[in-house]
Amino acid sequence: MRVLGIETSCDETGVALYDTALTGGKGLLADALYSQIAMHAEFGGVVPELASRDHTRKLLPLIEQVLSDAKLTRRDLDGITYTAGPGLVGALMVGASTAHGMARALNIPVLGVHHMEGHLLAPMLEDEPPEFPFVALLVSGGHTQLVEVQGLGRYQLLGESVDDAAGEAFDKAAKMLGLAYPGGPQVAKLAEQGDPKRFRFPRPMTDRPGLDFSFSGLKTHTMTAIRQLETAGELDAQARADVARAFEEAVVDTLVIKCRRALDQTGLKRLVVAGGVSANHRLRERLQAACEKRQARAYYPRGRFCTDNGAMIAYVGAQRLAAGERDTPGMMQATPRWPLDKLTAPASH
């Protein structure tokens, strides 16, 4: 089954082709991505209306590019999948309407899939994918969650952020430090020049049991530290780097502590880390060390599949289409808020 995947949930237009007849990384036939970061950077964050308009302009050319790269035509497609949520409703509608229109014209099945399920299973696109079951840390701009994964659609939420997600916290810290959008990579880059011993910021909610996260207090602590430095006339380039380092260390330590607890609680030996923040090098190093101490293994998607992309949507959609799932004819899905633990396994799984 050759499946076209479309991702338009926020500020990246992603398209990919996946063939279920080929296993591992070989199943991905072609993919392309257009990022809107440069456009939104001028405003310091995503502008929903601009995002929707840009998806409209870029989606069809990207579909033609991916088909050309795979040396296929639309008539070679067996199904189409698209991100149905969560995300910006206007952006979601661009992908949903395009997918449904193409599917109807080609008389092939179409299916809306969950954006975070795509991230969750993105490591399945690698040559050595994880086997079920595993613990997953989903850490992105809008989500920070720990999930026990027993199989496709069989997810138990272990913990999540009660306020800001880790990615949101990075963006807000970057803004406080006068860094460009998106904040995560900018803070990480600045932190490389920081002194890890100058400041120690709190590791929120690690002094109590449980697997939930909270980053709003850390954000406030960071703002207070910056204002105190400004008042003292000490907020120079080195001080900014030191604050960035302290902030990054606090977020990374918090995520690692909770992942260790999740592995210990479940007794599982595989940890999947996905979402935009999973590209953070310090986080990967610390999680790798934590897993090695527990004779466990960490799995990540390749760098370009950490952020939003069409490949993960094509993969997840292909698995669910192969299991017989379909959208009701003429019924597009666009669900801005859609809890991951509300998903169910296909009847054949």
* 11 assigned to a ligand binding site: no
CA distance linking residue 50 with residue 11, whole number of Å: 9
* 97 assigned to a ligand binding site: no
Question: 287, 286, 181, 185: which is closest to 244 by C-alpha?
Answer: 185
* 114 assigned to a ligand binding site: no
* 52 assigned to a ligand binding site: no
* 341 assigned to a ligand binding site: no
* 142 assigned to a ligand binding site: yes
Provide CB contacts within 8 A for 219, sequence distance 6+.
164, 169, 172, 173
Task: Annotate 126-150 with b (16+ C-beta within 10 A) or e (fewer).
Answer: beebbeebbbbbbbbbbbbbbbbbe
CB 336 within 8 A of CB 84: no
Side by side, the strands of the sheet bearing 144-151 are: 154-160, 144-151, 134-139, 270-274, 297-299
* 171 assigned to a ligand binding site: yes
* 184 assigned to a ligand binding site: yes
* 349 assigned to a ligand binding site: no
Q: How many CA atoms lie within 13 A of 81 on its CB side?
A: 32
Chain position carrying tokens 């790798």: 288
Structural Rg of the chain based on CA atoms: 20
Handedness of CA 85, 86, 89, 94 (dihedral sign): negative
Q: Which residues define the annotated binding site? A: 115, 119, 138-142, 171, 184, 280, 308
Q: Which residues define the annotated binding site for Fe cation? A: 115, 119, 308
Q: Which residues define the annotated binding site for substrate? A: 138-142, 171, 184, 280
